[in-house]
Amino acid sequence: MPKSTVTSPITVAPLAPLPPPWVDTLLGPAPVISRTETAHGTVVVRTAPRFTHVSVTIPRAHALAPEVLSADVRDAYLSVATTLNAQQRHPVRFWNFVPHIHTPSGEGMDRYMVFNGGRFAACEHWHGSPNDFDHTLAAASGVGVLGEALAIHCLAAEAPGSPVENPRQVPAYKYSRRYGPRPPCFARATQLAQPIGDAWWLLVAGTASICGEQTVHVGDVAAQTVETLDNLDALLAAAETRHGTSGTQARFTSLRVYIVRAEDVAVVRDRIEARYGVLADVEYAQAELCRADLLVEIEGVAEL
């Protein structure tokens, strides 16, 4: 698509630990809300006719010892599993907001790696062997936030979605130990099993400048943005093939763009608009990313 000529200023605020607004739209105006205090944190459940949103907040997570943090993350994920099992609903998308995400936490470890250890333990319990992860895991994002609390959000649906992987990348759950003793457990995208209106939705996980399992274009935000967009396009193509609509030009309808340095936003926006044109729903937020050598990460919703 041709480059946009839009030059309006962009607001880039520090990221709030919440999923994008389209989640509220899916739930509708009057979901049933419940709140429970547990040993590991506060669980809030919003239930609507077709979707459920479960959030778990672990207070003062920034100060927890690594083994305590890992155990609390495991228990938080398992509380999500218990809630959804009781409702007979299935996770289709996670958002994870980790404070002090790069703080060293043991030999060769940071807080994100500790988080991944707890998540992996929960996924093994919830979904079975890692050999089953290729058809059980939902799409997810994991980024750093300001403050002290760790927040986990899960969107669940009436029917399980279909995981989609990117042929340009190693599945995250198969990463080597270079990225921690336990890999991050998520799919690159989830295709919903039922349409939303007349459209089939693809929920795309946080996507960055990674080929195979390695960060590329370190230090170059423009090149990292283009590489990220190439990964997004490859993922859309894989989803089209899986859905049986190859060549129909799946398109993004909503994007959330995480940027490490606020001054990079114009460069990132220009590359996005050169690729996709001007989208009506694009949110830019400043956040730390799961790797210190990444400068931009993009997630979103596409229609197939």
> Which residues are annotated as catalytic?
297
SS3 118: helix
SS3 71: helix
Instruction: Label residue 270 exposed, middle or buried (CB < 10 Å: 0-12, 13-18, 19+).
Output: middle
Contact 297, 172 (CB under 8 A): no
CA–CA dist 183, 185 (Å, integer): 6
Return the sign of the alpha-carbon dihedral for residues 252, 230, 17, 270: negative
Identify residue 22 by its one-letter amino acid code: W
Helix (H) or strand (E) holding 35: strand 32-37
Nearest to 217 by CA among 230, 204, 206: 230
Q: Specify the pairing of strand 150-157 against strand 139-145.
A: unpaired
* R_g over Cα of the chain: 18
Residue 48 backbone dihedrals phi, psi, to 5 degrees = -120, 175
CA–CA dist 105, 181 (Å, integer): 13
